[in-house]
Amino acid sequence: GVCLAGKQPLNTMSDGSNQKDFIENADGSLLLDHKGQPISVDKFLSTKPLRKEVSTRQGPGGMKLSYMGGDVITKTLNEAFGYDGWSLEVKDKTQLDPMKDDKGRYIVAFTATVRITHLRTGAFREDCGAGDAIDRSLASASGNALKGAVTDAMKRAARHFGEKLGNSLYHDDFSVNKAPNTLKDACDMLDLERAKGRFGFDKDRKKMIP
């Protein structure tokens, strides 16, 4: 699907001034990294998902595909924006004509478009998804297909907010076996990647040191 994004950037107030958001603990205190520094929402969303947050399934030709479940995406959105800091809106849904298989079961498919909005800034991401289901009950098949389409669209929209929400899974070099085990590992990996991007690889820097 094609992502639609709001014009107002994340962590920017309506008057255009910058205001960093930080990740909070359950008691309202700021979540600190292992260096004692508060973790901004921007940095949190830029880290890779943890290994425990990524699942795998068999794909075409025996390929192993990595994915994040809808429950993990919801949990991560709550951690990043707060449970009352974001909204999910179904912008459109379309049901394809139901069919019956040779066993008399209904085959139903839906497509859906959803929008996820960060309420404080108004920044939003929008994308589409699809879902299908088979059941002897038309109502059950329809409900499960629609739920699948909305969940698929939610995951696709959420990934445009950052690597933590699944965007990193689309990179060719992503491997679940190399995913960080802890948030500390994830922050260290991000810091190293940013340093390499700005200053070159460690071995290259060492060559330049007299």
Q: Is 39 exposed, middle or buried (0-12, 13-18, 19+ CB in 10 A)?
A: middle
Q: Is pTM beyond 0.75 here?
A: yes
pLDDT band of 4, cuts 50, 70, 90: low
pLDDT digits (tens, 9 = 90+) for 86-123: 999 999 999 999 999 999 999 999 999 999 999 999 99
Is pLDDT above 70 for 144? yes
Residue with tokens 């038309």: 138
Whether 203 shows a pLDDT value over 90: the answer reads no
pLDDT tier at 193 (50, 70, 90 boundaries)? confident
Nearest-10 crossing angle of helices 70-81, 138-158: 40
* Tokens describing residue 103: 């066993």
- Give the strand pairing for 106-118 and 99-100: antiparallel
Say which residues have a Cβ less than 8 Å from residue 12's Cβ, sequence separation at least 6: 18, 19, 121
From residue 55, give the alpha-carbon distance in Å to each of 1, 66, 102, 197.
22, 6, 33, 29
Q: Tell me the C-alpha to C-alpha distance, in Å, between residue 79 and each of 46, 62, 75, 85, 163.
A: 14, 34, 6, 10, 14
Q: Which two tokens stand for residue 210?
A: 């007299």
The pLDDT tens digits of the residues spanning 61-89 come to 888 899 999 999 999 999 999 999 999 99
Closest CA to 132 of 113, 112, 157: 112
The pLDDT assigned to 119 comes to 95
Percent of the chain's residues with pLDDT above 90:
65
Q: Return the number of other C-beta atoms located less than 10 Å from residue 150's C-beta.
A: 20
